[in-house]
Amino acid sequence: MTSRLRSAASVAASVPITLFGLVLVTFLIGRVMPIDPVIAIVGDHAAPDVIAETRAELGLDEPLPMQFVIYVGKLLQGDLGRSVMTSHTVAHDIGQFFPATIELATVAIIIAMLIGVPLGVLAAVRQGSFTDRAIRVFCLAGHSVPIFLLAMLSLLIFYAKLGWAPGTGRIDVAFDGLIDPVTGFLTVDALIAGDWDAFRDAVAHLVQPAGVLAYFSMAYIARMTRAFMLDALAGEYVITARAKGLSSARVIWRHAFGNIAVRLITVLTLTYASLLEGAVVTETVFSWPGLGQYLTVSLLNADMNAVLGATLVVGMIYLALNLMADMLYRLLDPRVA
């Protein structure tokens, strides 16, 4: 156990360096931009002394390394600057928009897991058969499809043609602002408020974007499950279990699957991180007021504080999830020494 703890600790030790790199990259991106942040605030026609004053106020008259120190100092206090567009602090905005993205990504990964894992197991058990090939193509398609194609098709078919799903957004305007934001997750908040109609409406709005996002990650989950299962099914303990006369289902699910569960947790964690990326496009199509949409709207308005703040936060969460996947693998799987 101690050696495993030590290997996990060595992974954790590399995090501060990567984190520093992350901050440095966002800082540098913010400094290469052609739009002068001072002009963006005071406007084109401001007097020269106003421009100089604002520049000093923002610390932009300092040399670059000094600016970086100031930037890091502010970051450590949770200060990501102010958004020109919303005129709130970026940290406040992110707190507002992020729960919507987490809600979307969490539902998506649950759907993806419930479909992807059984598909992967099935493909592995029937290796080489028609079923295996069909699943392989289905997954490759999920890997290849642009998320906006799925999103647009889904809107066209289920909303416009069939009328089964509600349109874009998180909830019907009728409920807008009526639900007390306790957790920021609309479905949970509606339940807390005991408003069943609002809950049903929020869930209905969630199904389409979450389903689209789920297909994208399901492909990867199914593919990895299949590979792990093939590996496990070839093990001698599986042959022994079969020779003892255990039922096929018991061998597959208890013996083989039990052995790959830890590695699957790693895959799920990594997939969850990649969902943050897919969410940017999905949120744009479905007008889902999450971090992805905040990012794209800020981009179009050249609101750099907001863009960099959101990029940095997403990068940190990505890093944390990757670290978590690595740690879980090292701590839980006894085969990793």
Give whole-number Cα distances, 47 to 34, 52, 53, 144, in Å.
Answer: 20, 9, 10, 53
**Options 1, 13, 32, 249; binder of another protein; rule CB under 8 A:** 32
Measured at the CA of 110, the angle between CA 108 and CA 115, to 5 degrees, comes to 95
**Options 302, 328, 332, 336; binder of another protein; rule CB under 8 A:** 302
**Options 308, 325, 326, 330; binder of another protein; rule CB under 8 A:** 308
**Contact mark string toward another protein, 202..231, x via CB under 8 A:** -------------------------x----
**Contact mark string toward another protein, 108..147, x via CB under 8 A:** -------------------------x---x--xx-xxxxx
Stretch of 73-81, 117-125, 234-242, 310-318 lying at the interface with another protein (CB under 8 A): 310-318
Q: Among residues 110 and 156, whose Cβ is nearest to another protein?
A: 156
Q: Among residues 260 and 310, whose Cβ is nearest to another protein?
A: 310
Q: Among residues 45 and 161, whose Cβ is nearest to another protein?
A: 161
> Which own/partner pairs from 12-17 qualify as long-range (CB within 8 Å, at least 24 positions apart)?
12/323, 12/327, 15/319, 15/323
Burial environment of residue 226 by CB neighbours within 10 A (0 to 12, 13 to 18, 19 or more): buried
**Options 64, 69, 134, 160; binder of another protein; rule CB under 8 A:** 160
213 contact partners, CB below 8 Å, separation of at least 6: 104, 105, 108, 147, 275, 278, 279, 282
**Contact mark string toward another protein, 74..113, x via CB under 8 A:** ----------------------------------------
Amino acid identity at 233: L
Asked if residue 147 lies in contact with residue 218, where contact means CB atoms within 8 angstroms, the answer is: no
**Options 22, 115, 238, 332; binder of another protein; rule CB under 8 A:** 22
* H-type alpha helices, the chain: 2-32, 37-42, 48-57, 64-76, 90-125, 130-144, 147-154, 186-193, 196-233, 236-243, 248-250, 257-285, 291-300, 304-332
Q: How many residues bind another protein (CB under 8 A)?
A: 54
Q: Which is nearest to 170 in space by CA: 160, 179, 182, 158?
A: 179
Tokens (6 digits) for 328 = 């879980």
Provide, rounded to whole angstroms, the least separation between the CB of residue 321 and another protein. 10
34 binds another protein per the rule CB under 8 A:
yes
Q: Which residues contribute to the site for another protein (CB under 8 A)? A: 14, 17-18, 21-22, 24-26, 29-30, 32-34, 133, 137, 140-141, 143-149, 152-153, 155-156, 159-160, 227, 273-274, 276-277, 280-281, 284-285, 295-296, 299-300, 302, 304, 307-308, 310-311, 314-315, 318-319, 322
